[in-house]
Amino acid sequence: MDGIQGDFADLDPDNVESVSVLKDAASAAIYGARAANGVILVTTKKGRSDGLSVEYHVTLEAQNATRLPKLLTNSADYMQLWNEANERSGLPTYFTQAEIDAFRNNPNDPVNYPNFDWVDYILKTAFTHNHHLSVSGGNEKTTFNLSFGYLDQGGIVDLYDFKRYNMLLSVDSKVTDWLTVGGNMQGMKRDVTQDVQGGNNEAYFIMHAYGPGPNYTPTMTLPDGSTGYVARYSASIAEWTVRNPAAILAQGSKTMSNYSARPQVYANVKLAEGLNWYTKGAADFDYNFTKNHEHAVDCYYFNDGSWAHNGSVWNLGVRDNMNTNFLTTLYSTLNYQKTFNETHNLNVLAGYNQESSYYRELAGTRTYFPTDDLRELNAGSSLNQSTSGTANEWAIQSLFGRVNYDYKSKYLFEASLRYDGTSRIHPDTRWGIFPSMSAGWRLSEESFMKETDWLSNLKLRASWGQLGNQNVGTYPYQDVLSTTSYAFGSVESGVRPTRLVDQTLKWETTTVTDFGLDVSVKDGLFSLTVDWYRKFTDGILYSIPIPASVGLSAPTVNGGQMENIGWDFELGHRNRIGKVQYDVAVNLSTYKNKVLSIISPSLGRTTVQEGLPYNSYYLIEWIGIFQNQAEIDNGPVHPYNPKPGDLKYRDANGDGVINADDRIVVDGAYPKFFYGGSINVLWKNLDVSLFVQGINGLKNYNGGLYTGWGYIPYVQGSPPPMDFVKNRWTGEGSTNKYPAIYEQTYRPLTGTESTYWLLDASYLRLKNLRVGYNLPTGFARKLGLKGLQIYLSGDNLFTITNYPGVDPEKSSLGSSYSTYPQLTTYALGIKVKL
Amino acid sequence: MNKCMNYIKIFLIGILLMSPVSCADFLDKNPLDQITSQTFWKNEAEASMAVAGVYSRLLAYPFTHKEADFDTMAGDVCANAFNTVISIAQGNILPTSGGLVSTIYNNCYAGISTCNFFLDNIEKTPISVETLNRYQGEVRFLRALFYFTLATHYGGVPLYTSPVTIEGAKVKQSSKAEVLQQVITDLDFAIANLPDVPYTDGHAVKGSALGLKARVLLHGQQWQEAADLANQIIQGGKFSLYNDFRTLFLAVGQSNNPEIMFSTRYLVPDISGDIDIRWGWNAAVNPRQELVDAYECADGLPITSSPLYDPSNWRLNRDPRLLMTIKGFDDKVINSSGEEMGFNYNAISGTGYEPVKYCNWDALPMDYSTLSDQDWILLRYADVLLMYAEARNEASGPDASVYAAINQVRARVNMPPIPDGLTKEELRERIRNERRVELALEGVRWGDVLRWKTAETYIPTLVDPGGTRRMFDPAKHYLLPFPQSEIDVNELLEQNPGY
């Protein structure tokens, strides 16, 4: 952001002037030592020298989860199937037939025999409003931009509230004809309130929406007539904790406050005509405070109203965590630019960059408080209190240079060189040299092509460059002993080795070769961009698999070589028919990843082997459902003594036994291709735009026992999805798609990592649709405005996917099925310009 | 103007020249809360920190309460949904089973690597020879404990006695005999160098090493040597039975307890365990009826023949150890302030029984903030007495010393002596049952049924709540398989037979 590393989450979109993405190594070369995977450049708005301008932008949004699993909400079925599942697992059943019948026979008694839909109860529509006010202006000497932003985002679950306050002041001033100075100051405050189990993005809490059974309600009338929270259905169900999100909400809250200040100043000194010295200094100060406050809440069993326990309190009392991070950046370049004979354009740049980060953390916990209202540590008892704290730091330092030359904008050349050092690598190997170069040829500028006046641009591009990556944790090479302790007579400090390190670690180097073609016909009536690239990564930073008998954790080493070969296509069409102006663009990207060499292959659920994509799925192949006992008896020996209705696997090596030797490589670790498109239409004062996006061929593995809530039946009691209930195996010949009902610990299902758990996460979705209307200028003037725009916008309005239940896009980012849902957003926005 | 420009140019050149010079400091960042190993081993204080580091490896499965997994495996306990070992205990043992199949392996080797690192470096430290020997003795005792645990469960395993590299670690397993030989060598060193004092502060003493060696010899059926060694402890007089069987397993009774010979130690809040939550609240340990029935009546007769046995109330007139080990699911208890406390278990017991041993009723009612600091006993004197009785009986048949040893254990809880005149075989059964009830839920029984080879006859008779019959294949189940991840990475490692 403005040349300094930043985080998108901190950005007020209204402050953004422009965003550009640099993918090839040559163009990314001067943007730092961490650009191996490309750079996104964000420029914030600055004031203009044409007088004062005031803008106000407000949006009002309503948000819903895009897709949610449809879970079984019929209690009698839920209980019946759980009993069946437990019987298959050889576990005691939890419900008597009389209990099940009571639910079955009283469908209209939601108080005593509920069929409760927890997903519907917990997930609701969120409302958000967002305000942005900016004042900018200036004269020829000095410009400024001052803006304030306020975001109040509600959650799709209760007790979630996010507020963000942004402030940006930027000033640029031409002090003299040889000196320009400027700077900006961003300030931000964020406040988040959420439930005590919220964690990151509420994922854990969403799990709780998928967890409880339909056969009880959030609260109940107790035998003494009062109202209490339900723990779960009955005492016979083994559980760690309450299965009731409403009780969790009642247990307290977690509040997070974040303040950050990002001052940066720069000076540009014109040393001579065409020679500029530019220096920028920036600091990024972050302060975070998290307070977790939990108190006991009495919870009861639904079936008899007896007291269960005081809630699912994991960490009773108050846990405070304070951390600060201080990142400083110094960036200085000397740039010489000159055009010779109006044909030779030369631009030479030399620069220096350094960044250093210091993080520190302090945390304290007290458990016992006299009342539930007291939330500060001092109010609690010191019994069993604990404290912790740590700090860490890293730094990088770089020297770089670049030469650009072009001849009549027809032949373009660029070469650059970086020399990067990092604190993360041993002094002997911490410096790396990374060269890059590129060339372009605008054929359309050639005299022999000038005749073809329909061809506005035809350019061939080629680039080659190397960049380094050192993203390996803060202290990957230091041979250190971890501190620990042991209770002899008293607790004594101890040290012990816990990890292996590789002191010869060096930069991971990515070499990107890119060939591109840009064609534009009739000023964009049709345009085409094609890129072919090969990213070759040498010295992959890789935590090699080691024998557990070493007794230490594996070191990160430069483990091998990998390549990504890909194509990007972008096709555009821009035209005007009468008063309708429109443009259409479609894009398609595809790449193939391949490990070229690896010093120690890894085998497991995923595998790293030469010739295969990195971390390819490595699973036993699921080939159907056992329909009868004879099929089991006559086939290869399966683990865990399956029954009819269980998963049938392929004996890949034909040895008559299904075991780890039958794992095969399965595709799906990477999408086959990504695609998207956009349409923009402008008619008079009305504009419409839409944007679609999709991926194809990505598969998510969803067999993790405790991540499967909402997908795997009866993960700690979670109801099975309706799709499974309706289509499950119920007897010989019924289906080969789903097995018989099971519960999560049933080993013939969940004991073997197989392709049964791979879910196709391909999707195509309408990412955004926007309709805007600009008030005619004359009319706006009458209102005393320079401009007024009203728009309606919708995000994620429509999705085509085979992914079961939840959102494929969001789910593919994390490992958990029950992650915070992707949101469908409906927004009304108004922009006013004074 | 020009002057100004010149200053700026000089300044600029200065910066560019200075920056590479300052590189060295700027990029030297080292961990702020860890210790660099190169500069370690400077003095006795650091050596003693390294010793504590080795001991800290005991704070891991299977040297903690481990949900009574070993008693579940042995068939004395069955588990509910909280206990993932049940599938393994029912005979579903695969290289990919995870759970104890991999944790025992991983954690023992984490311990061994810490021991080897210590032994490889300790001689650098300027400390007295006595201190050096004692430290080496303690660490070699712990290494023996880790290797013996591995050998018990996996048979032969890769044997390393100094720190290994990744490639160096990829070796074929040594034979079980070779591993046990190393265990004996380490224990002999420990016996020769550890102080011959009671066990008081968590540091292993000579008695700890003697006791462990007796257990190793017992596993090797070296009866006479085992008996001699156990006798050496008995004659040494450094240990004795503690008078209160109940508080032997609670923090309140464990400080300087004369019976405890080695244990994994806790001290709240810094080093706390979760045994109360897991055993006393989550109800993860459900003793089986067979174990309850193994306790004699107060007259010393089994329930099948004692006139004191009341089939309508299993609690009446029984060996006092029964109610200090096991309670009924709904039974209320009395805490140390005399209050009657009820339970709100997080599950119901599949057998109707819940543990008492190791459970602290003062922790009731519990929540997830409950911290436990009962030391987990790895070796105690009653075990040594019973080891003596068993080894002596096997080596030379019944004699007065055998009776004396077993009766001493019984007398502590006011159980009558066992009848005189038993044959060797009859006495063997009495000793085995005595071990079962005395050491119930302490994780010892699994090792016992493995070495007695009784697992194959007893375990298949068991049906768990829910109707699953347990399976035990004598062709393979006396050993665990190596974890698949280990086979994947070490081609020289041969999987145990049958897996």
Tell me the pLDDT tens digit for each residue of A66-100: 988 999 999 999 999 999 999 998 888 899 999 99
Q: Is A641 on the interface with B (CB under 8 A)?
A: yes
Q: Are B269 and A485 in contact (CB < 8 Å)? A: no
pLDDT for the residue numbered B20:
47
**Residue of B48, B116, B162, B166 to mutate for A, most A C-beta atoms under 10 A:** B166
Structure confidence by residue, pLDDT tens digits, A436-470: 999 999 998 888 877 777 888 999 999 999 999 88
For residue A725, what pLDDT is reported?
97
Residues in chain B predicted with pLDDT less than 50, given as ranges, are: 1, 17-18, 20-21
A705 touches chain B (CB under 8 A): no
Residue A713 phi/psi, 5-degree rounding, is -65, 140
In B, minimum Cα distance to A306 occurs at B344
Q: 93-152 in B: which are within 8 Å (CB) of A?
A: 94-97, 102, 105-106, 109-114, 116-117
Q: Which residue has the higher pLDDT, A214 or A8?
A: A214
Dmax (CA) for chain B in angstroms is 117
| CA-to-CA separations, B442 to A484, B74, B272, B472, in angstroms, rounded | 26, 11, 19, 22
Q: How far is B328 from chain A (nearest CA, A)?
A: 15
CA distance B487 to chain A (A): 9
Residues of B in contact with A545 (CB under 8 A): 485, 488-489
Per-residue confidence (pLDDT) for residue B401, from 0 to 100: 97
User: What is the domain-level CATH number for residue B457?
Assistant: 1.25.40.390
Q: Which of B2, B18, B27, B150 to mutate to test the interface with A (most CBs of A within 10 A)?
A: B27
Q: How many CB atoms lie under 10 A from the CB of residue A221?
A: 12
What range does the domain containing B68 cover? 44-265+378-489
Do B109 and A640 count as a contact with CB atoms less than 8 A apart? no
Total count of domains within chain B:
1
Answer whether A546 sits within 8 Å of B489, measured CB to CB: yes
B288 in any annotated domain:
no
What is the distance between the alpha carbons of residues A36 and A535, in angstroms, rounded to a whole number?
10
**Exposed/middle/buried for residue A451 (C-beta within 10 Å: 0-12, 13-18, 19+):** exposed
Interface of B with A in 375-434 (CB under 8 A): none
**Number of neighbouring beta carbons within 10 Å of residue A812:** 19
Q: Do B489 and A600 touch (CB under 8 A)?
A: yes
What per-residue confidence (pLDDT) applies to A814?
46
Q: How far is A388 from chain B (nearest CA, A)?
A: 11
Contact flag A548-B158 (C-beta cutoff 8 Å):
no
CA separation for the pair B392, B232 (Å, rounded): 13
The residue to which tokens 């840009």 are assigned: A518
Let me know: does A57 contact A131? Beta carbons within 8 Å: yes
- Identify the residue whose tokens are 């307070």: A291
User: What are the residues facing B189 on neighbouring strands?
Assistant: none
In this prediction, residue A817 carries a pLDDT of: 66
Q: Percentage of chain B with pLDDT > 90?
A: 83
pLDDT-based confidence at residue A4 (cuts at 50, 70, 90): confident
Residue B312 to chain A, least CA–CA distance (Å): 24
Task: Considering only the beta carbons, identify the residue of A427, A485, A751 that sits closest to B271.
Answer: A485
Q: Which residues of A touch B52 (CB under 8 A)?
A: 484-486, 488, 492-495
Residue of B nearest to A602 (CA): B489
The verdict on a CB contact (< 8 Å) between B203 and A488 is yes
Examine residue B216 and state whether it is found in any structural domain, yes or no: yes
Q: So what's the pLDDT on residue A702?
A: 84
Contact B12 A277 (CB under 8 A): yes
Query: Does any domain span residue B332?
Result: no
A145 near A47, Cβ under 8 Å?
yes
3-class secondary structure for chain B?
A: CHHHHHHHHHHHHHHHHHHHHHHHHHCCCCCCCCEECCCCCCCHHHHHHHHHHHHHHHCCCCCCCHHHHHHHHCCCEECCCCCCHHHHHCCCCCCCCCCHHHHHHHHHHHHHHHHHHHHHHHHHCCCCHHHHHHHHHHHHHHHHHHHHHHHHHHCCCCCCCCCCCHHHHCCCCCCHHHHHHHHHHHHHHHHHHCCCCCCCCCCCCHHHHHHHHHHHHHHCCCHHHHHHHHHHHHHHCCCCCCCCCCHHHCHHHHCCCCCEEEEECCECCCECECHHHHHHHCCCCEECHHHHHHCCECCCCCCCCCCCCCCCCCCCCECHHHHCCEEECCCCEECCCCCEECCCCCCCCCCCEEECCCCCHHHCCCCCCCCECCCEEEEEHHHHHHHHHHHHHHHHCCCHHHHHHHHHHHHHCCCCCCCCCCCHHHHHHHHHHHHHHHCCCCCCHHHHHHHHCCHHHHHHHCECCCCCECCCCCCCCCCCCCCHHHHHHCCCCCCCCCC
CA distance B265 to chain A (A): 6
Does some domain include residue B415?
yes
Q: What is the pLDDT of residue B4?
A: 55
Whether the CB of B496 is below 8 Å from some CB of chain A: the reply is no
Q: List chain A residues with CB under 8 Å of B39.
A: none
Record: contact A397-B26, CB cut-off 8 A: yes
pLDDT band (50, 70, 90) for residue A513: very high
pLDDT of residue A9: 73
What is the residue-wise DSSP string for A160-181?
Answer: -EEEEEEEEEEEEEEEETTEEE
pLDDT, tens digit, 9 for 90 and up, residues A357-406: 999 999 999 999 999 889 999 999 998 899 999 999 999 999 999 999 99
Report d(CA B226, CA B216) in Å as an integer: 8
- End-to-end CA separation in angstroms for chain B: 86
Contact: B466, A89; criterion CB under 8 Å: yes
Q: Do the chains contact at A315 and B369, CB–CB below 8 Å?
A: yes
Bridge-based pairing state of the strands A606-607 and A616-620: antiparallel
Any domain includes B80: yes
B346: nearest CB among A238, A367, A427: A238
Share of chain A above pLDDT 70, in %: 97
Region A495-503 average pLDDT: 93
Contact A309 B270 (CB under 8 A): no
Distance CA B46, CA B38 (A): 12
Interface contact A334, partner B, CB < 8 A: yes
- pLDDT value at A328 more than 80: yes
What is the three-class DSSP state of A605? coil
pLDDT at residue B24 in the model: 57
> Do A552 and B110 count as a contact with CB atoms less than 8 A apart?
yes
